[in-house]
Amino acid sequence: MKYILLMNGSKAGVNSYRAWSKNDIQAHFDFLKRLNKDLTESGELVANEGLGAPEQAKVVRAGNNGTPITDGIFPETKEFLLGYWMVDVDRPERAYEIAARLSSGPGPGGVPTNMSIEVRQIMTRRTEEVS
Amino acid sequence: MLSADTEHLLRELAPQVLGTVVRRFHDFASAEDAVQEALLAAALQWPREGVPDNPRGWLIQVAIRRMTDQVRSDVARRRREEAAASEMESVAIPAVELGASEEKDDTLILLFMCCHPSLSPSSAIALTLRAIGGLTTAEIASAFFVPEATMAQRISRAKQSIKASGVPFRLPSREQRSDLLRIVMHVLYLIFNEGYTSSSGEQIQRPELSKEAIRLTRMLHKSLLDEIEVAGLLALMLLTDARRNARTSSDGELIPLSRQDRTLWDRAEISEGVALVTSALAKGVIGPYQLQAAIAAVHDEAARSEDTDWPQILALYDLLKRMSDNPMVALNYAVAAAMVFGPAKGLALIEELASDGRLASHHRLDAARAHLEEMAGNFEAATRHYRIAANRTTSIPERDYLLAQAARLSEKQPQPSS
C-alpha cells in the first residue's frame, strides 16, 4: 500500500529555518539524505521531492475563456506544503513510523523539529468484484 | 524484439535453470543473479541467432559461466593463490539432464524459498515473480508502480534474508510442508489479486499479474497433483479471471456481476475451472480455496443473473464460515442470505457484523448494506451507505462506482430541503 507523507510548514517556521546556522542546516540535510537512502535500501521509497519557496507559489484559477488568472499566495495562508515522500509499505503503521522519523529531524542545536507530517493513503486501481 | 513463443520458453525454463545452478553452487542469491543475466543474454541473442537446439543447456551454461566469473573475481579480490583460481577452470559445462521429478522438485523448492516465512508479502511477491516467473526487475517495478531501483533493493534484501535464514536447498519435511504451502498459495493469490485492476486504457504496458499468477499456480499444481487445495486455488483463479472482460466497461467503469454481459465470459477458463473444482471436491478433503472456487463456479454456470443458484451459494458460504473466522466471509454469507430469504435477513446479519469491530469501518460492509437497503426499497438509507462506502474505499474504480450508485438513487428521491 502506498502512502504520501506531506511535510507542511508555517510561514513563521519557514522564516526561522532560513535563519538556521550552517551546521544546523547541514545536519538537517544529512538527516534527510540518510532517510532517503534507508528508504531506497528497504525497497520502500517511491518518490520524494522538495518544493520551491512558498513566496514563489501562485494560485491559479480559470478566467473567461479559460485563461489563467494568477495570484500570489494569500496573506492569510498559514500552512504551506514544503515537500513530500511517497512510500510503498506493507502496513499503515510502517507509514506512521516513517512519518515520525521525518518529524524527528534535527532543528537548531540538534533539537528535533517535531514538525507535523500529514499521512494520506494513495488510492489504487485495484478492485474486487462489486455486487 | 522477443517473440511471444520465445518469451514463454524463457520464462518456463527460468526456474529449471535456476534449480540446476543453485544445486551446483549452493548459493541461491548469486545463482538467481546469474540466471537473470543468462535470461537477458538469451533475450538479446536468440532473436538474432535463433533459438539454440538445447535452450535449457544454453541457459545453464551461460549462467554457470557468470557464476564462475563471479567466483573467480571474488577469489582474485581476496588475493588467493593461483591454485584456487585454476581449480575454478575445471567447472565444466553441465552434462546433467534432470529427470522430470527432479525438475518438479526444483520448482517446488524454489517456490518454498521465495515465499519463505521470514519475508514480508511484498518481498515474497517480488522475488517469486523474478526467480520463478522470470520477469525482469524493471517489469516487476512497473507492475507495482515503484522505481526500478526501489524494486531492485526489495529483491536483493529478500535474497539476503533467505541467505541469513540458512534455509537449505531441499524439499521441506512433510510436517513443515503444509504450513509452507499455505504461505506459497497465499503469495500466489496476492499476485493474482494485484493483477485484478480496472484498466481504463490510459495505463502503460505492464505485465499481466493475474495471468502470471495462473501460470505459476498451474506449475505448482503440476508438481503437487495430490494437494487438492492447490487445485482449488487454480480453479478459483480461472473462474474469477474468466469474468475479466465483462467486469469493466470500455471506459473503465466497474460492472457488477448481476449486470455483466455473460457472453463475454471466457468459456475455456470456466470449463477448466469447473472440472478442476469438481474433481477436487470429489476427493473429500475440503479447503477454503476449493469452496471459494465452488462459489465462483456456481456464478459462472448461471446463464443469466436471475438463474443464479443462491441457496447453493449460501450453503457453500456457510461451510466456509465454519472453516475460517474471516469477517469478509460472514459478510458474503449475509449477502447470499439476502438473496435467498430477502434483504431484511441480510441486513439483520450485517447489523451483527457492524458490532464486530474488525469490519466496522470497512467500505465493503457499507457497500453491502447499501445494496441490500436498495433491494428493500429504502433508497435514502441506501444512498447514505453508498456514500459512506465511497468515502472509505481506497480503490478509485470502486469509489467511482459507489458514487455513481448514490447519484442514481438520489435522483429517484425528492431532495431534502436544506
The reply to whether residue B398 touches residue A127, judged by beta carbons under 8 angstroms, is yes
CB–CB of B88/B65 below 8 Å? no
Q: Which amino acid is at B235?
A: A
Residue B197 burial (C-beta neighbours within 10 Å; 0-12, 13-18, 19+): buried
CB–CB of B331/B358 below 8 Å? no
CB atoms within 10 A of CB B110: 23
Q: How far is Cα B157 from Cα B160, in angstroms, rounded to an integer? A: 5
Q: CB neighbours of B340 closer than 8 A, spacing ≥ 6?
A: B310, B311, B314
- Residue A122 Cα, gap to closest chain B Cα (Å): 7
**B411 pLDDT band (50/70/90 cuts)?**
confident
Query: What residue has cell string 435522483?
Result: B411
Does the pLDDT value for residue B95 go beyond 50? no
ipTM for the complex? Answer: 0.84
The reply to whether residue A125 touches residue B120, judged by beta carbons under 8 angstroms, is no
Q: What is the mean pLDDT of residues B8-32?
A: 92
- Residue B13 Cα, gap to closest chain A Cα (Å): 28
**B89 pLDDT band (50/70/90 cuts)?**
very low
- Residue B376 Cα, gap to closest chain A Cα (Å): 15
Q: CB neighbours of B85 closer than 8 A, spacing ≥ 6?
A: B72, B75, B76
CB atoms within 10 A of CB A118: 13
Q: Identify the pLDDT of residue B324.
A: 85
Share of chain B above pLDDT 90, in %: 69
The residues pairing with B254 across neighbouring beta strands, listed in sequence order, are B248
Question: Residue B56's closest CA among B46, B70, B67?
Answer: B46
What's the whole-number average pLDDT of chain A? 90
CB-based contact (8 Å) between B367 and chain A? Answer: yes
Q: Identify the pLDDT of residue B92.
A: 42
The reply to whether residue A131 touches residue B150, judged by beta carbons under 8 angstroms, is no
The reply to whether residue B150 touches residue A40, judged by beta carbons under 8 angstroms, is yes
Q: What is the mean pLDDT of residues B136-158?
A: 92
CB–CB of B294/B263 below 8 Å? no
The reply to whether residue B398 touches residue A130, judged by beta carbons under 8 angstroms, is yes
Does the pLDDT value for residue B417 go beyond 60? no
- Which residues of B are less than 8 Å from A46 in CB distance? 145-147, 150
Question: Residue B244's closest CA among B296, B288, B205?
Answer: B296
> What sign does the dihedral B10-B13-B15-B17 (CA atoms) show?
negative
What's the whole-number average pLDDT of chain B? 89
CB–CB of B293/B276 below 8 Å? yes
Least confident of B24-38, B69-83, B188-202: B69-83
**B97 pLDDT band (50/70/90 cuts)?**
low
Cβ-nearest to A131 among B151, B371, B396: B371
Q: Identify the pLDDT of residue B39.
A: 95
pLDDT tens column, B316-348: 999 999 998 889 999 999 999 999 999 999 999
- H or E, element range at A2: strand A2-10
Q: CB neighbours of B36 closer than 8 A, spacing ≥ 6?
A: B130, B136, B137
* Three-state secondary structure call for residue A57: coil
- Residue A71 Cα, gap to closest chain B Cα (Å): 32
**A15 pLDDT band (50/70/90 cuts)?**
confident
Strands A79-88 and A2-10: antiparallel
pLDDT tens column, B357-408: 888 889 999 999 999 999 999 999 999 999 999 999 999 999 999 999 999 9
Q: Identify the pLDDT of residue B88.
A: 47
Q: CB neighbours of B231 closer than 8 A, spacing ≥ 6?
A: B221, B225, B276, B277, B279, B280, B290
- What are B304's three cell numbers? 443469466
pLDDT tens column, A26-85: 999 999 999 999 999 999 999 999 999 888 888 899 998 989 988 877 666 678 899 999
Q: What is the mean pLDDT of residues B235-242?
A: 96
* Three-state secondary structure call for residue A80: strand
pLDDT tens column, B263-315: 999 999 999 999 999 999 999 888 999 999 999 999 999 999 999 999 999 99
CB–CB of B7/B47 below 8 Å? no
CB-based contact (8 Å) between A40 and chain B? Answer: yes
**Which B residues 137-156 touch A at CB under 8 Å?**
144-147, 149-151, 153-155
